[in-house]
Amino acid sequence: MTQFELASATRFGLQTSPSTFYMRLGRRELFICRDTYVRRYRVNPLIECSAGVEAGHLQILLLRRWLLVLSRAPG
């Protein structure tokens, strides 16, 4: 079963905005937001993958604008 929740607090060390949402799929979490981080390196224009801020997190940057954070749900 999928749960949709609006992120009202900071999650994954990122600031929330009106275009942010959080989704839980079983034991996994998906956090999607607009990317505001200024990167000091050249970013792939379509998709960029990197390790997240915390262990077990995967960050995917889509179209240089949308940041998807995949992680394991607590508990």
**Sequential DSSP letters for 2-64:** EEEE---S-BTTB---TT-EEEEETTEEEEEEE-----SSPPPSSEEEEE-SSTT-EEEEETT
Amino acid (1-letter code) at residue 42: R
CA torsion, points 39, 43, 46, 50, in degrees to nearest 10? -70
Give the per-residue pLDDT at 1: 45
> Is the pTM value of this prediction over 0.85?
no
Q: Give per-residue pLDDT as tens, 8-65.
A: 444 555 555 567 888 888 888 999 998 888 888 888 899 999 888 788 889 999 998 9
**In terms of residue numbers, what domain contains 16?**
2-72
> Total structural domains in the chain?
1
What residues contact 55, with CB distance under 8 A and at least 6 apart? none
